[in-house]
Amino acid sequence: MKARVDCCKAESYFLPHDTFGIVRRELREFDMIAKPERQLRIGVLGCGPIAQAGHFESVTKARNTQLHAICDVAEDLLERFAVTHAAARTFSNYENMLADPDVEAVIIATADAFHVPATLAALEAGKHVLCEKPLGVSLEEVCELKSAVQKSGRLLQVGHMKRFDPGIESAKRFIDEELGEMLAFKGWYCDSTHRYAMTDAVQPLMVKSQAARKPDKDPKQDLKRYYMLAHGCHLIDTARFLCGDIEEVQARHSERFGAHCWFVDVTFANGALGHLDLTVAVRMDWHEGFQLYGQSGSVLAKTFNPWLFRSSEVDIFRESTGESSRVLGADAHFYRRQLESFGDAVLNGTPIEGATVDDGIASVRGMLAIAESAQTGRTVKLADVSGAL
Ligand SMILES: NC(=O)c1ccc[n+]([C@@H]2O[C@H](COP(=O)([O-])OP(=O)(O)OC[C@H]3O[C@@H](n4cnc5c(N)ncnc54)[C@H](O)[C@@H]3O)[C@@H](O)[C@H]2O)c1
């Protein structure tokens, strides 16, 4: 039997004769994790790979959220994931999901080009938003979004989930509380030619649909742009999370045997020297991490492919003791942890711990500045960039 879609009317979900409704009810009654806290009712826009591998599970597992609704134009995906994750309601039309008064917050899990329009529509409808990274693809659209956030009085968090990696969090605490002056930071993010061999082994089977909505131009047609948007924004955000604002960059780019490499000299506002290495794809294992030198210690970090849900191995050396420490055994479901933090911010009014709209804008500025510098050979100030990637 076909699952029902656009279920705004009470009679159209949890009907005893609806196969999917029965499965959902049973899942809800018997199998779901007990959640003592007030739960934020979430609607997820997009049933694509990131929702399938990260967000659906995060919403159902998080201590303070529930999967109230899912939305996708692809009805085959809707049917399948409504059952798998026991979503209470399904929508093939985004406006209808936004019109559902029971949806309190939306996760935007669509292609990059749709992030800003979808977020604007959600804010307009009075919903809080957790939007996938990158926040947008042009400076103008993300700045417009900032005004909309301010007017709406709603919260917007950007899905830079590495901020919720317990190892990276430990480095951030050390920097804020003990490091003193920062001398220099080196960060690298190198996707691997073997990534799919690794991720296929641990992710659920990815379900694709011919009916999925894609941007007019396939983002993967221009790999240089795609790699910057997909991966560069992570590297920039991690650098900014740890070291603060980036003032200017001087970048070089090389493409050989289908691999792209950016080496970027960075000036941080705090005066530290920086170097970023974005290489996709390296002929080796996933290679990501950073090294940081400061007044009272140093940090050396190895980050794993995110789908291993493994905390970065972060060695913090303290000059005062001559010893290193490392967080072990931590809960590293970054996607669920970012959502719980977002839920706390919405429900309890705690400050946003994740990336804010300003952080999202700074990432877009950083990507634009690197692209411009690599093209012109000049040093580019982030404050001076404009346009789209
Ligand atoms: N944080 C991370 O680690 C991480 C990892 C992978 C992807 N991402 C990000 O997640 C986002 C989504 O990636 P993906 O690969 O899942 O995308 P995708 O394009 O494959 O899937 C998005 C789904 O959204 C649906 N959709 C789009 N617009 C819609 C609309 N207006 N109404 C209804 N349905 C709509 C599409 O039909 C599609 O099924 C990207 O921005 C990507 O950068 C983040």
Atom of ligand 1 nearest to the CA of 211: 37
- Numbered ranges of CATH 3.40.50.720 in the chain: 10-161
Partners of 246 in beta bridges = 268
- Per-residue pLDDT for 20 more than 80? no
**Least confidently predicted of 26-30, 132-136, 140-144, 169-173:** 26-30
Which of 279, 291, 287 shows the shortest CA–CA distance to 251? 279
Using a 6 Å CB cutoff, which residues line ligand 1?
45-51, 71-74, 77, 94, 109-112, 114, 132-133, 159, 161, 212-214, 230, 306
Residue 259 CA to residue 289 CA, distance in Å, equals 19
Homologous superfamily in CATH for domain 165-329+357-384: Dihydrodipicolinate Reductase; domain 2 (3.30.360.10)
- Per-residue pLDDT for 174 more than 80? yes
- What percent of the chain has pLDDT above 90? 90
- For residue 184, what pLDDT is reported? 98
Residue 170 CA to residue 200 CA, distance in Å, equals 29
10-161: what CATH class?
Answer: alpha beta
**Least confidently predicted of 11-15, 222-226, 294-298:** 11-15
- For residue 323, what pLDDT is reported? 98
pLDDT tens digits for range 31-83:
566 787 899 999 999 999 999 999 999 999 999 999 999 999 999 999 999 99
Protein residue whose Cα sits closest to atom 20 of ligand 1: 48
Q: How far is CA 322 from CA 95, 293, 296, 297, in A?
A: 58, 15, 10, 9
Beta-strand (E) ranges in the chain? 40-45, 65-71, 89-91, 105-108, 128-131, 156-158, 182-192, 246-256, 259-268, 273-282, 287-294, 297-303, 313-318, 323-325, 380-381
Q: Which residue has the tokens 């210690």?
A: 297
Coil, strand or helix: which one is 220? Answer: helix
Q: How far does residue 246's CA lie from ligand 1's centre (Å)?
A: 28
Helices and strands (DSSP H and E) totals, the chain = 13, 15
Atom of ligand 1 nearest to the CA of 229: 43
Atom of ligand 1 nearest to the CA of 118: 31
- For residue 26, what pLDDT is reported? 46
- Numbered ranges of CATH 3.30.360.10 in the chain: 165-329+357-384
Protein residue whose Cα sits closest to atom 7 of ligand 1: 50
Banded pLDDT at 4 (limits 50, 70, 90) = very low
Q: How far does residue 81's CA lie from ligand 1's centre (Å)?
A: 14
Instruction: Give every CB contact of residue 375 below 8 A, 6+ residues apart in sequence.
Output: 253
- The verdict on pTM exceeding 0.85 is yes
pLDDT tens digits for range 288-345:
999 999 999 999 999 999 999 999 999 999 999 999 999 999 999 999 999 999 999 9
| Alpha-carbon Rg for the chain in angstroms | 21
Instruction: Give every CB contact of residue 12 below 8 A, 6+ residues apart in sequence.
Output: 4, 6
Q: How far does residue 219's CA lie from ligand 1's centre (Å)?
A: 12
- Per-residue pLDDT for 13 more than 70? no
Element (H, E) at 348: helix 334-348
Strand pairing report for 259-268 and 273-282 = antiparallel
Q: How far does residue 195's CA lie from ligand 1's centre (Å)?
A: 19
Element (H, E) at 337: helix 334-348
- For residue 179, what pLDDT is reported? 98
Mutational pocket test of ligand 1: of 110, 112, 364, the residue with most ligand atoms within 8 Å of the beta carbon: 110
- For residue 18, what pLDDT is reported? 36
Atom of ligand 1 nearest to the CA of 46: 24
Q: How far does residue 178's CA lie from ligand 1's centre (Å)?
A: 39
Q: How far does residue 111's CA lie from ligand 1's centre (Å)?
A: 4
Which of 79, 68, 64 shows the shortest CA–CA distance to 33? 64
Instruction: Give every CB contact of residue 368 below 8 A, 6+ residues apart in sequence.
Output: 139, 382, 385, 386, 387, 389
